[in-house]
Structure 1
């Protein structure tokens, strides 16, 4: 069952809750979703940057350069398989106890896992002088475990942050409001690239295993995460639960039907929406993680560009694709989510085939062009995605359904392509990487064409009443 269409779009927060909302509420919601998501993704991205620049040497020193890179990105991929688990677990609690309390837990888990990574001894070299001879195979094992918890937390974070904004959004402004958690990704990429750039310059640009950067400089961005998490927790605790969730719980409390699991209901009633959303956003993920993590390694290890240049370009690219996210999200309120996302996917089909021939010319200008265009195309689709997924699902399992669709796309587009690309590049087959990305985008285009326009769906008022009716249909 799909969400109910409304000719007027989403209701105002006041109408949804039946009580007045303070004028500052929307500003607080935007800040909480954006800042919290920035912190979560900052933690996620510094891992991707370290996986490209540090972990092959630190945790897999006995392997060849190509094998070590492949192993490093395999640990990066672990999080994508943990994300659906996090989406199911946190989705359950988000749909039962509330968006706000669940988001506090996702932030705490991510922060603890990230700080632990910063303290891990290496395979042969310890952390901060401890374990001087390293801890051998235990080191990459602990790295994988921490990475799993990072993915577990992010799996529950995104859906909750977008629901927080979408369920507060005034009429006709859901794309604008849902833009704020999406922008957190751009902020995070800027911060992670900038932090690594600063410490790479301070600690030295020597890429050898005995350099200051490899010994301790890379750890500082991970440890700084603790400060950011405390700030994020303070902001999130100050935000009220969404009026839509309060209304839905009030209706559920009056319902005499047996309680059901949000996960089971999402699969039972809206499995098509989960699959279509996951497929449609696969292109988005494949471009993004190739651009933010894989190309960082490819530019330094294969193309020979300096680490400061690559990280500096990452900061510039973050600003550009943040602008693309904002413009596309706002524009989707006018012409619809489907058209905007379809435009991105169409561009991706073509761009994927030419990006590596451009990069392989070896010039710094070519790398800048390749990175910027890749992330602009990503931003065009990512902006509307924050409003799209909440609009597709019923209120009583919206957190679960949106999380499952989003993280399915993460596996298809974010986990597998970087692994396959690393193997192809090691074999000298960069053309194969472009073909793979283009085929993924073609698959996404088919899902976009099968998708119904969601911008006029309501996420408040009538939808909550429909949920109460739907609950009586569940045996």
Structure 2
């Protein structure tokens, strides 16, 4: 159905509506990352003991474990009932869970356990929304003239959400100091995200279902068991694409944030100076992620991701200069590849596309989840924040090498497939 032309104005509306959930996810990840360590220990435990911080981080990080489950489960419904159905209910689940976190009474460890469950539910919703949103957006964007460029906006939403998260924290700290965050401020920050998600879910109801899925319905070609068949028929591509993309969330959510912010603060830089530098770097990274999508239309998404991954591998050691500006080249080059990844859904057949793409979107979150929950605390305990730079950089480099190998396999497979055709 690629020959069907849809007005570009309509495609842009679909892409914008599909982007909102991804913005909120990144906003949530950044702002609540700070709240969980700086605020929750005092709200729920009255002090910032090691156990209080550990429980708070655990509650915060369960969202990353929920993402892959949500990506697969809601992807299954997206392939069986429709992309629009999956997008609405995944966002609705996330919004409800987020709102309940904002309203959580200060009942000690019990509150943190409830938050962990709600964050898992929120992760399921956001994982499902991410995969379904990207698939619906792609199935409209491919009928336009610049699918890579259009799809770079949902991908860049992750960076835009981080920008909003940084601004939210900086504004809150400047308004009424930490006392405001300790009382109502943190609830307001989360509540804003919950309301935005609920409004987005309502607007999603007005989105027209994907024409590709409608064709499947009309021709009675809907797969009877998307989860089973996606891993059976598309399992190799799911694994390879997940590994090819994995370097970016590891660099962004493990090495750059939260670690590098804490690293430069420990090196003697003022916290606000570090935050503002990260804010400027994020703005530049947003622009380069859009550039990545533009270049993907010209050269293909895999080639741009390969350039991005190799560039990340080369620039990561610049962090050892201990200069704040060293954040820029790594962040910018990694983000260019992220923006180009928006059309990865094209690698999957239409009848299993939502489940397969949702699985990829969910699984890439497992890499920073494991590193943040288990590896980062252990490294900091043994080596300290500054001393952990070497092992953390080695982990980042190794995962980036795996991504480079995976993308090369994908490129070679496509060439072999093309030559045999």
Equivalent in 160, 183, 196 of residue 187 of structure 1: 160
Q: Cα distance, 1:454 vs. partner?
A: 9.7
Aligned equivalents of 1:84 and 1:346: distance in 2?
27
Distance change >3 Å, CA 265–CA 26, structure 1 → 2: same
Aligned residue in 2 for 1:472: none
1:113 aligns with 2:104: no
- Corresponding residue SS for 1:167: helix
The whole-number CA distance in structure 2 between the counterparts of 1:453 and 1:167 is 25
Please give the residue correspondences for 1:289-438 in structure 2 after superposition, counting only pairs within 5 Å.
Answer: 289-290=253-254, 291-300=256-265, 302-303=266-267, 305-355=269-319, 357-359=320-322, 366-367=323-324, 369-388=325-344, 390-412=345-367, 414-419=368-373, 420-428=375-383, 429-430=387-388, 431-438=390-397
Aligned to 2:172: 199
1:241 aligns with 209
Find the partner of 2:183 among 198, 215, 220. Answer: 215
Please report how far the alpha carbon of residue 307 of structure 1 lies from its aligned counterpart in structure 2 after TM superposition: 4.4
- Once the two structures are TM-superposed, the CA of residue 46 in structure 1 deviates from its matched residue by 2.5
Report how many residues are paired.
408
Distance 2:74 2:413 in 1: 24
The 1:115–1:177 alpha-carbon spacing in structure 2 relative to 1, beyond 3 Å, is same
Match among 283, 286, 309 for residue 250 of structure 2? 286
Q: SS of 1:451's equivalent? A: helix
Q: TM-score under structure 1 normalisation?
A: 0.79
Residue pair 2:83, 2:135 contacting (<8 A) in 1 also: yes
SS at match of 1:427: helix
Comparing both structures, which one devotes a greater share of its residues to helix? 2
Q: Is the 8 A contact 2:70 2:362 kept in 1?
A: no
Deviations 1:188-228 (A, max 9, x none): 11111111111111121x5xxxx332233222111112431
In structure 2, the CA distance between the partners of 1:311 and 1:455, relative to structure 1 (3 Å rule), is farther
Distance 1:352 1:262, change over 3 A: same
The corresponding residue for 2:135 is: 163
Cα deviation for residue 298 of structure 1 reads 4.2
Separation of aligned partners in 2, 1:317 and 1:434 = 19
CA RMSD of aligned residues (A): 2.6
Q: Distance in 2 between matches of 1:243 and 1:227?
A: 30
Unpaired segments ≥5 residues, structure 1: 1-9, 15-20, 127-134, 360-365, 457-475
Higher-Rg structure is: 1
Structure 2 spans left out of the alignment, 5+ residues: 416-421
Question: Is it true that 1:446 corresponds to 2:402 in the alignment?
Answer: no
Q: Give the distance between the partners of 1:163 and 1:338, measured in 2 at CA.
A: 18
| Partners of 2:66 and 2:120 within 8 A in 1 | yes
Q: Residue 194 of structure 1 contacts residue 312 of structure 1 at CA under 8 Å; is this kept in 2?
A: no
TM-score scaled by length of structure 2: 0.88
- Between the aligned partners of 1:32 and 1:433, the Cα distance in structure 2 is 36
CA distance change for structure 1 residues 383 and 235 in 2, over 3 Å: closer, same or farther?
A: same
